[in-house]
Structure 1
Amino acid sequence: MLRLRCCLLTQLLSSPSASPASHLRRLFSAAAPAVSPNPSFAVEEYLVATCGLTRPQALKASAKLSHLKSPSNPDAVLAILAGLGLSSADVAALVAKDPQFLCAKVERTLAPVVAGLTGLGLSRSDIAHLVSLSRDKFRCRSFVSNLQYFLHLFGSFENLLPALRRGSCFLSADLETVVKPNVAFLRSCGLGDCDIAKLCMAQLMLLGSNIECVRAMAARAQDIGVPCGSRMFRHALQAVAFLSNEKIAAKVEHLKKMFRWSDVEVRIALSTLPPLLMRSNHMLESKSEFLISKVGFEPAYIAHHPALLTYSLEGRIIPRYYVVKFLKENGLLDHNRSYYSAVIVMEKVFVDKYISPHKEVAPYLAEDYDAACRGEVPTRFKFT
């Protein structure tokens, strides 16, 4: 019976039917015999033998399915999952996480949802991805309209998929009263749909938040010196999204202390690089110590070039510092050449500009640089 239903569903999804939902209901009705309640039906055994759950998983899941008296509905659900191409492992994972998926009504819910998603142009593999990622949300009739809206916002299913892999909570937010007002407000702040989609991907709960919360987030972003309409506004929103004013104030004070910044300087740094608020204090302290004490940068210089703080201390800042210092100490590089310009370039460009030209006079430079990137300090990089 499962094989028959699977074949019927596969045939339906591959045919250009004008009314896939009605065909799906008719085919399942034709394939489903009348089944009387079976008092001897053992849910736990069914979960193990038919769904592929482990015994502990089945024991836990069966508590939510104690009302089931027959395999009829679970069989129909498994048939539609198999027809979508879900593997046995995918089905087992789905049922283990959402046992009540087996109770979903195929004709009233799953069939219309599958038909609706097919009508949006999604393939069977796309829909199978959605089942695995959205689970309980897939069991709601509103799933299709919600997904259609987010497909338009994100531009394509391929763009939406990474966000779904991080979490599908935003799909269950009410479109009319929550999501659309939030999107309209963000657009009024100068964000395009692409920016909003990226913001949603980084902060999954944002579009599902109360509109007043989103307005407060925008106010906090402006308070750190990033106005609406600026290219950094999305990054500022992401940084302050779920931070309280008190936590932001504490972070600002810590930044001032670490980098010896004035109020003006910390505002310059944050307006240029809002994600500084999200960096750990420990990481920032180690970079502050090295850049100020070792490299000799003035606090004001770092405030105007906060991109320095986004790079790895051990994997980039320190090794490149040693190379630049070595070249200057040996007369191979102009002493006025900026260390900052050496840090910000990509690895290949750095090697081409600072390593390769000196192969003959400094044959061990590439080897020493690689060692420094591994956390070692070669003897040739130790200066008095």
Structure 2
Amino acid sequence: MGSYQNLLRVIKHNPGILNSSLEKVVKPNAAFLKECGLGDCDIAKLCIAKPRMLATNPERLQEMAACAEGLGVPRRSVMFRHALCTVKSLGNAEKIATQVDNLKNTFRWSDAEVRIAVSKHPLTLTRSKEILQRKSEFLISEVGLEPTYIAYRPAMLSYSLDGRLRPRYYVLKFLKENGLLDHGRDYHTAVACTDKVFVEKFICPHKEAAPHLAEDYEASCRGEVPTRFRFA
């Protein structure tokens, strides 16, 4: 686990691990995860996210690892831990296939684009159909992003629609419509940065030209659409 603190967190999330065989289950699983490229801290994070992972039947764990690789996420890659979490969450190949089809239909992706998106952000497969549909309608229909653009930047789908994606789009649109920002400025760059960086880069420089921008942005983060953000 890397530290006693991590060990206690794992036990807190899954006290049943203390009943698992150390020699037949826990140690073999830990050794296998290390063979897959996970360090002590990675294993701790994995077990905190999925408390029963170390207590899983070793053969089943190896099957999950093979399934994760089948999603296009190779062992020893930085996304492998997340791919294992995804496989553990979905449970079986049938559910994974259903989620893959849902992504294809929702974002109009090809098989290759789904594979790219999942390999870059495996947890995309665990998002609900309803949430993905809302984000698809917003990103494709309102923002005007191409499906391929989203496939190469799937982390966007993990961001809150109402608390991040939509408010920042409103700010960018306002700035562009008022000639305060280059129309070619990339949307992903704006949504990927922290809120502090976003405010520093896109709001603070325009305090004089747009004195109400900060308060309008805060209002949009609360689900409101200020009059100044409404364009025909």
Q: Tell me what 1:293 maps to.
A: 141
Q: Tell me what 2:35 maps to.
A: 188
Q: C-alpha deviations, 1:98-121, integer Å up to 9, x for none?
A: xxxxxxxxxxxxxxxxxxxxxxxx
Q: Tell me what 2:55 maps to.
A: 208
Q: Tell me what 2:44 maps to.
A: 197
SS in 2 for 1:375: coil
Which residues of 2 match residues 297-308 of structure 1 at below 5 A? 297-308=145-156
Q: Tell me what 1:172 maps to.
A: 19
Question: How far apart are the structure 2 equivalents of 1:169 and 1:357?
Answer: 54
Q: C-alpha deviations, 1:33-52, integer Å up to 9, x for none?
A: xxxxxxxxxxxxxxxxxxxx
TM-score, structure 2 normalization = 0.97
Q: C-alpha deviations, 1:88-140, integer Å up to 9, x for none?
A: xxxxxxxxxxxxxxxxxxxxxxxxxxxxxxxxxxxxxxxxxxxxxxxxxxxxx
Contact kept? 2:14, 2:52, Cα under 8 Å:
no
1:241 aligns with 2:76: no
Q: Tell me what 2:208 maps to.
A: 360
> Structure 1: which amino acid aligns with 2:204?
S
Q: Tell me what 2:162 maps to.
A: 314
Question: How far apart are the structure 1 equivalents of 2:22 and 2:8?
Answer: 19
Shift of 1:293: 0.2
Question: How far apart are the structure 2 equivalents of 1:188 and 1:156?
Answer: 20
Q: Tell me what 1:375 maps to.
A: 223
Shift of 1:209: 1.3
1:270 aligns with 2:118: yes
Contact kept? 1:239, 1:277, Cα under 8 Å:
yes
Question: How far apart are the structure 2 equivalents of 1:174 and 1:268?
Answer: 38
**Percent of matched pairs sharing the same residue:** 61
Q: Tell me what 1:230 maps to.
A: 77
Length, aligned pairs only: 231
Contact kept? 2:150, 2:156, Cα under 8 Å:
yes
Question: How far apart are the structure 1 equivalents of 2:198 and 2:125?
Answer: 29
Q: Tell me what 1:219 maps to.
A: 66
> Structure 1: which amino acid aligns with 2:18?
L
Question: How far apart are the structure 1 equivalents of 2:231 and 2:44?
Answer: 50
Which residues of 2 match residues 71-220 of structure 1 at below 5 A? 154-220=1-67
Shift of 1:167: 2.5
Q: C-alpha deviations, 1:154-213, integer Å up to 9, x for none?
A: 222222232233231112110011111111211222222221121111111111111110
Question: How far apart are the structure 2 equivalents of 1:191 and 1:352?
Answer: 36
- Structure of greater Rg: 1
Contact kept? 1:287, 1:309, Cα under 8 Å:
yes
TM-score, structure 1 normalization = 0.59
Q: Tell me what 2:174 maps to.
A: 326
User: Which fold has the larger relative contact order, with Cα–Cα distance below 8 Å and residues 6 or more apart in sequence?
Assistant: 2
Q: Tell me what 1:146 maps to.
A: none
Question: How far apart are the structure 2 equivalents of 1:232 and 1:332?
Answer: 38
1:259 aligns with 2:82: no
Contact kept? 2:64, 2:87, Cα under 8 Å:
yes
Q: C-alpha deviations, 1:143-163, integer Å up to 9, x for none?
A: xxxxxxxxxxx2222222322
SS in 1 for 2:133: helix
> Structure 2: which amino acid aligns with 1:227?
P
Shift of 1:259: 0.3
> Structure 1: which amino acid aligns with 2:213?
L
Question: How far apart are the structure 2 equivalents of 1:175 and 1:201?
Answer: 18
SS in 1 for 2:115: helix
Contact kept? 1:315, 1:374, Cα under 8 Å:
yes
Question: How far apart are the structure 2 equivalents of 1:383 and 1:245?
Answer: 46
Q: C-alpha deviations, 1:270-317, integer Å up to 9, x for none?
A: 000001111111111111110000001000000000111111000011
